[in-house]
Structure 1
């Protein structure tokens, strides 16, 4: 009997939908929606495929603020042969309710965005609302809510915009239909899925919750000092400011306990070193006025920084963290890491381009290491700097171990070569590479923006040794000889190594400790404006 009822309904629907062709187009959709709603009300055991292109087009005329999601929503239904996604029989599915809950907790994902027509979606899940939307409206609103959520959490800024803001790392491409299949088969992935988001994202999310709790509990207290009379605090100094600094170190986790002592004792020294390491500061015990101003930055600014860097993590392909070997340079932290088999094999300080010659954010494939390299002076430097120096001093080239090479100038190999004794090449249109440097004293500065765009590596020899340690053709003694500065020698890598040059002003290490770094190129400010300015349309 049930099969007969279902068959009757299907035949009836087919008859009625065909008959719509005889009425005008304007009333056609209205009649179709009425029939569909009546079927669902009178045939509770029927689960019908009722969404088609015509209804979708009608929906976006009714809800124009959602128009930008139309293509993605159409793809969802095409993949499912236009069957319902969000309804079990006539009720909204459990997964639909779960997604609605996640949208209401969007701030936990570090996102500030508002779903259009959210008041109507609220009514769908409000049992006290009797005048419910038509089921087709509810179905399509939830599909749009899903695309809204997925685009904000899993995708972030679109690839075209990324290029405009100078982010040339590989953009992540996602399929909303495939992601939906994955989430519906395992809803726990809504909480965490490292196949969808770069693992650093979830580390930042944990710290975001911690800092919001600190803000909520009023624990971020200003350190009271008189800027006009302040003198650097040093070990065994005492005062109210010392007690306040100690409390701050405890609140953020750099001290395990708060003794409430007014004395800058050994326990506090350890906490200060931990704090300075997280901020990329010079590791000593002195607390300058700049350090106190840094500590007094409002916690809201720190929370915003975390959110901005969560956004950057959305742009990174999740598979990056799973690569067996790669090099990553983070410009704001002035640091390079070489990862091998999931572990940090080497960490080195670096210095990067000035504000006039910013280091570009991009990726490449390291294919060779050049020992005792020539430095081929860029034409821009010859034109803007070198010609003037040659005009002033005829012996300038010889005194700096340089020579003409055709129409170019190059510096011969040697310990005073501007590239040092080794460089790491990865072909790119920006002519940027990693290299050693004879200017080791520059690594003593906290803010290290000195180069013409290339990345100067403090532990350059250590990086070469780490990369080649499993290559029997390049034992340590051969590397030492190649780095003697006598002649240029090239080592072609047997396996190319991915290298990523990124920009993160907040980064959480494997111990869950967050580091905050200076926004040396003002990129946080630009991203903040892009994401949160009132003039920018919400996603």
Structure 2
């Protein structure tokens, strides 16, 4: 089961990206890592390791008789206290621990976690936690069990996220991380573990959480940018609307210093800010503030907040660490990333499925490279395109370099082939794979959702060389020859490469910048609806 942890996908996308930004506007990798650690460690606290104060095991059943809505955590709670021989965890001889206060504060601030949920038994928790007079034994045991149950509630909602059945509704078909909340709480309480305890969420979660605070603090859409006469704003222009552009980019953090926000001149500092905004939104970094950029600038802050929240939820599903080499495609980003552990090796542009032919979110392992492949026409395309074409034109198959093959039709290898000169297979039930394409011009587009569901790669030769790098017989020269041979050839990869097809529309890159991408498959809206229901 642990094998799936290497899927940690994408985190990939963002976490390890390189940038050419000036160092004085960047946050270093170490500083971002420290922020993540600081944000994740406040539940490490000061747990009680005492064993003299205990309660009767019979208190557990009577507790759940009173707090029935928390009964789903009874098994976890029984496991935890059996291991401790029913010793108090949230109390010392001097009263409640620092850890209890930390948990109480986190429960009080669930909206900071991007959650809009009702805390069960909040009134009772407030009453028991804030008792000023000495507590009776029964009150202490009730407070103890309520705090532990609330810990499990917090862990489930904040660290685990929606149940797996809910994620299937948004077509997330990758393995979810598995957590034992009682084991996690028990490990936090072990001697020597307090200072190193980490929350079991992928680090992107806490980076997005920090931006959630910042965006909630932004003034609500007080600056709107319009294009004068619908003409793009260009470097060197002197226009009244440049002032609004400056103010908006300053509010969003792309213009690092306010400076003279009233200046109508599009100068070099504004050019840097415009390019930074364009990069964060996956646009061509040309410094021209045209219609598409202005539309992104004017997206309501509340919409950005919702996007951050749904991507925090997706990060709850991810394993917290990743090891080894793997590939990750982030569909809304239109990019393939190669990683070794948490280090980015290279990026490559890709084309993904159109909205009507959505690329599936799932994980697999590339096991074969196929040079000069045939293209077996999928049943849907055969029915909708090929058979009608054959009915209208007797020479349709010959014109399209196709031939009948069994009960179907396939396209012959060659420069016309829809799969190009090579494809990369990883067994899956979705009939999805990576491949070359003769339509090279599409890789120059900012938004690249054009395929029937499979993933087209911009540099197939490079990818083939990377996947076959451990086989010395497959030199660059031999690969080029095989791609041009016109003879289909299957080559097994000695070490199959994990590949993860994922879907993230917001993330924080290695420079600390918040990136947004379009929700091309309307997954964000679906997930947002599920979060509201839960």
Contact 1:346/1:463 (8 A) holds in 2: no
TM-score, length-scaled by structure 2: 0.84
Residues 60-459 of structure 1 mapped to structure 2, 5 A cutoff: 60-89=64-93, 91-126=95-130, 128=132, 134-185=139-190, 186-188=193-195, 192-193=198-199, 196-213=200-217, 215=218, 218=219, 221-225=222-226, 229-260=229-260, 261-319=263-321, 322-459=322-459
Deviation at 1:500, TM superposition (A): 0.8
Deviations 1:176-205 (A, max 9, x none): 122102333444567x54xx2222223222
Deviation at 1:154, TM superposition (A): 1.3
Deviation at 1:371, TM superposition (A): 1.7
For the residues of structure 1 that align with 2:406 and 2:334, how far apart are their CA atoms?
A: 36
Deviation at 1:130, TM superposition (A): 6.8
- Taking structure 1 as reference, are residues 245 and 485 closer, same or farther at Cα in structure 2, changes over 3 Å only? farther
For the residues of structure 1 that align with 2:412 and 2:272, how far apart are their CA atoms?
A: 46
For the residues of structure 1 that align with 2:386 and 2:79, how far apart are their CA atoms?
A: 58
Contact 2:225/2:298 (8 A) holds in 1: no
Contact 2:227/2:233 (8 A) holds in 1: no
Contact 1:425/1:434 (8 A) holds in 2: yes
- Taking structure 1 as reference, are residues 444 and 295 closer, same or farther at Cα in structure 2, changes over 3 Å only? same
Contact 2:220/2:301 (8 A) holds in 1: no
For the residues of structure 2 that align with 1:85 and 1:406, how far apart are their CA atoms?
A: 68
The answer to which of 248-257 and 294-303 deviates more is 248-257
Deviations 1:302-326 (A, max 9, x none): 122112111101101112xx32211
For the residues of structure 1 that align with 2:472 and 2:255, how far apart are their CA atoms?
A: 46
In the alignment, which of 48, 55, 66 is matched to residue 50 of structure 1? 55
Contact 1:220/1:248 (8 A) holds in 2: no
The size of the alignment, in residue pairs, is 480
Deviation at 1:69, TM superposition (A): 2.5
Q: Tell me, which stretches of 5 or more residues in structure 1 are unaligned?
A: 1-44
Contact 1:95/1:187 (8 A) holds in 2: no
For the residues of structure 2 that align with 1:108 and 1:312, how far apart are their CA atoms?
A: 16
- Taking structure 1 as reference, are residues 51 and 290 closer, same or farther at Cα in structure 2, changes over 3 Å only? farther
Q: Tell me, which stretches of 5 or more residues in structure 2 are unaligned?
A: 1-49
The answer to which of 125-134 and 161-170 deviates more is 125-134
The higher relative CO (CA closer than 8 Å, separation ≥ 6) is in 2
SS at match of 2:366: strand
Deviation at 1:435, TM superposition (A): 1.0
Contact 1:366/1:497 (8 A) holds in 2: yes
For the residues of structure 2 that align with 1:510 and 1:264, how far apart are their CA atoms?
A: 28
The answer to which of 248-257 and 364-373 deviates more is 248-257
